[in-house]
Amino acid sequence: MDTGFNLREHGGVDVFLRDCPTRAVLDVIAGKWTMLVLVALADGRPMRFAELRRRLDGVTPKVLTQTLRALEREGLLTRTVYPTVPPRVEYRLTGLGREAGGLMQRITDWSQANMAAMRAAREEFDGRAERGARQFPDAAS
């Protein structure tokens, strides 16, 4: 959408510029595990590390720890440590995190609603590519 107003000319934020601070935000929220953590916590209920790990099938403890730290650093979640033995730690989204989690939930819903159409498009594309490779075998090399 062209608004006719070029932010670059006026020193404003433009995500397409290399040094735009918006890119740092996108780097944080665009990761697969970040998106899934935000969705898992979006209902507002606090979760412990082990709960999150079970919920996010396939995530390693190291990656989950890195993801949670990044989200806490950016103000998207809070980490509360309770003085028990052993210590109990809970993670909960902040207001900012709930807002981002809602966006991620909509993306998740869209993904689930359009999964079949995208799979069909992929299969059709792959079929065309395979037919093209058989028709022009030297083109691939």
Per-residue confidence of the chain (141 residues) as pLDDT tens digits?
Answer: 555 556 556 556 788 888 888 888 888 888 899 999 999 999 999 999 999 999 999 999 999 999 999 999 999 999 999 999 999 999 999 999 999 999 999 999 999 999 999 999 999 999 988 877 777 666 555
Rounded Cα gap, residues 97 and 137, in angstroms:
51
Query: Are 79 and 8 within 8 A, CB to CB?
Result: no
pTM of the predicted protein model = 0.77
Q: Distances from the Cα of 16 to the Cαs of 74, 103, 104, in angstroms?
A: 21, 21, 22
Cα-based distances in Å from 99 to 11, 44, 58, 66, 128: 27, 11, 25, 21, 41
Q: Which helix (H) or strand (E) holds 44?
A: none
Q: Say whether the peptide bond before residue 86 is cis (omega within 30 degrees of 0).
A: yes
